[in-house]
Amino acid sequence: MAYGLVYDYLMGQCIEAHNYFGAHFTKQGKTDGVVFRLYAPMANDVSVIGEWNNWDVTKHKMNKIDDAGVWEVFIPGLSNYQSYKFHFLNAKGKYVDKADPFAFYAENRPGTCSRLFDNRNFAWHDDYWLAHRTRNFDQPMSIYEMHLGSWFGKAEDGHTLSYEEIADKLIPYIQGMGYTHVEFMPLVQHPFDGSWGYQATGFFAVDSRYGNPFQLMSLIDRLHQAGIGCIIDFAPVHFAKDKWALAEYDGTKLFEYSNKWRVSPWGSYQFDLGKDPVRSFLMSAMNYFVDYFHFDGIRVDAVSNIIYYNGDSSIGLNEGAVEFIKRLNAKIHIAHDSVMMIAEDSTAFAGTTKPIEYGGLGFDYKWDLGWMNDTLKYYSKDPIYKKYEHNKLTFSMAYFYSDNFMLPLSHDEVVHGKGTIINKMWGDYEQKFALVRNLYTYQYAHPGKKLNFMGNELATFDEWNEQRGLQWDLKRFPKHDSVTRLCKDLNFIYRAYKPMYFEEHNPEHFRWLMVDNADQSVFAFERTVGKETLVFVFNMTTNFYDFINIPMLQDGTYEEIFNSDKDVYGGWGQYNGLPIKTEKGSFEGLPYHMCIKLACLGACIFKKIK
């Protein structure tokens, strides 16, 4: 088995390398201990140094067990949490101390050592969840994206909350708000807080800021028991340049490019995804978090920088990296057919979510960054000029059916001087709140899965800062608390009505009702599944309409089930209280119309009741 696994690792076909390499508690005969295995083909004179041998390089020499460059030693009598490193002579003739690339745990910064951890035999309680888990294609999916350390902030005594402590606060909040999934920004070991986990040093080590692997397992186990799915953000493009980690690991560019592509646009080192052992390393890392931690999905960061060198399409495809992505998605889906693979992809690459056998990359979902950019630009415009930007709100449906899209309002939009979501809205204080309510309604109404970064629901004016918790005190103010109420109600409406999520990539279920009314900047569309019909209407200007005719495809009676201008959401209470019967009369080529009240900057949802 070991020979086959090493062979598969070298051939770029292995997704279980973590079960062989690294430090594993085991028995040899009747003796308990830890077996250490290292892949470092150009290393010599390799030792394991650690707390137990007082960092003595002569005590525990490793044996080279094959010509591929695998080193091994068994050390008896070791225990959890003991720190260690590998010490060896590298290809440049220098002795170095390196962290274990496959370590399951590590010292918290500024420490740089790997730490022993026996991650076997955690007692899971989520069998029911796993048995019924799907990739959510025809199910509602509203994702709450979060940075674990800055969601709640530190405890009163100043300590960072552990995975288990966060669970006590997070689970009731997510349940109460109606989100279906939590997406965690990277939870692998990284030395610099400001990288948010995207520049990692340990791709199998859980972030020790918040505890050990069992504590993360406990958080996910409890989320699953509460009916909440878990997605992990993973960055397989690049890694931190720290010399004690992956950089020039054995004195050669073992993990990174050896040419001009070595340094990424972020100043980190880029993985050479054309190297087969690197492919196995990264595929195994992602599979490890699915297999051992029961994550329900993986969001792959910066896919544009995988498809194209440095994300520049003019240079041409990075064929080796494209092959890596296809192999990754295929192998994860074969091993875990209910796990979602999600691409954060800003390119126009054709077929990101198409099956591999049809020339696609094999992802299940793709972030629709085009929708995000166009939408936020549109909402930032003065209403006087919105008629000239009309296509920014209609264009997304022209390409929507080309991929399985997710609509993100993510962490990337609320940092680095970009302002928060509400800051991006046009207008004065009241108008910004009205528009942000309109925007969130539009996001939920538009076909596609939903993703919102933590704090969007608070309508905070301060950008996110990883060093502090969210501004929960804003909920003392009615304007902000009302936006939270709106987000909560949208989540539950979204989950309650089939037309909002079922077969959303089937064009038969969507129909524009008012799409060309650029002068008034009023939009309307219908979503129908079976006998259920919902109609969505948006007013993008400050004009108030006591009566406005909305073209309708179906004759019938409609009841308003949601209005962003209701006073409970911080609006002025201009809503349609009684059911409305359609009338004959053609507008925009449709046979009927419905006369409604439409608030300035308002959004409303109608349900066909007969």
Output the pLDDT for position 330. Answer: 98
Output the pLDDT for position 376. Answer: 97
Q: What is the pLDDT of residues 396-448, one digit of tens each?
A: 999 999 999 999 999 999 999 999 999 999 999 999 999 999 999 999 999 99
Question: What average pLDDT does the segment 50-68 reach?
Answer: 96
Per the CB < 8 A criterion, the answer to whether 420 and 461 are in contact is yes
Strand partners, 229: 181
Helices and strands, counts by H and E, the chain: 14, 30
To which residue do tokens 């970064």 refer? 453
- Return the ∠ at Cα 292 (arms to 286 and 293), rounded to 5°: 85
Per the CB < 8 A criterion, the answer to whether 549 and 595 are in contact is yes
Domain 508-608, CATH 2.60.40.1180 — does that match? yes
Cα–Cα distance measured from residue 486 to residue 421, given in angstroms and rounded to the nearest whole number: 15
Determine the residue type at 8.
D
Residue ranges in 226-383 assigned as alpha helix (H):
276-291, 304-307, 319-335, 369-379
Q: What is the pLDDT of residues 90-139, one digit of tens each?
A: 999 999 999 999 999 999 999 999 999 999 999 999 999 999 999 999 99
Cα–Cα distance measured from residue 329 to residue 333, given in angstroms and rounded to the nearest whole number: 6
State yes or no: pLDDT of 486 exceeds 60: yes
100, 344, 457, 565: the catalytic one is 344
The DSSP call for residue 435 is H
Question: What average pLDDT does the segment 80-87 reach?
Answer: 98
- The tokens describing 326, both together, are 């296809």
Judging by DSSP bridges, how do beta strands 557-563 and 545-552 pair with one another? unpaired
233, 301, 403, 489: the catalytic one is 301
Percent of the chain predicted with pLDDT > 90: 96
DSSP 414-467: SSTTS--HHHHS-SSHHHHHHHHHHHHHHHHHSSSEEEEETTGGGT-SSPP-TT
pLDDT band per the 50, 70, 90 thresholds, residue 350: confident
Residue 198: what are its φ and ψ, rounded to 5°? Answer: -80, -15
CA dihedral (403, 409, 410, 414) positive or negative = positive
Cα–Cα distance measured from residue 298 to residue 301, given in angstroms and rounded to the nearest whole number: 9
- The tokens describing 521, both together, are 């900047």
State yes or no: pLDDT of 276 exceeds 70: yes
Determine the residue type at 141.
M
**Arithmetic mean of pLDDT over the chain:** 96
Every domain of the chain and the residues it spans: 508-608
- Is 319 labeled as catalytic in the residue annotation? no
The pTM for the full model equals 0.96
Supply the angle between the helices 319-335 and 276-291 in degrees, to the nearest 10: 30
- What is the dihedral angle through the alpha carbons of 433, 439, 441, 445, rounded to the nearest 10 degrees? 180
Question: What average pLDDT does the segment 204-217 reach?
Answer: 98
Q: Exposed (0-12), middle (13-18) or buried (19+): which is 508, by Cβ within 10 Å?
A: exposed
Coil, helix or strand for 13? coil
**Does 110 sit behind a cis peptide bond, omega within 30 degrees of 0 on the bond before it?**
yes
Output the pLDDT for position 587. Answer: 78
Per the CB < 8 A criterion, the answer to whether 366 and 325 are in contact is no
- Is 296 labeled as catalytic in the residue annotation? no
State yes or no: pLDDT of 216 exceeds 90: yes
State yes or no: pLDDT of 1 exceeds 80: no
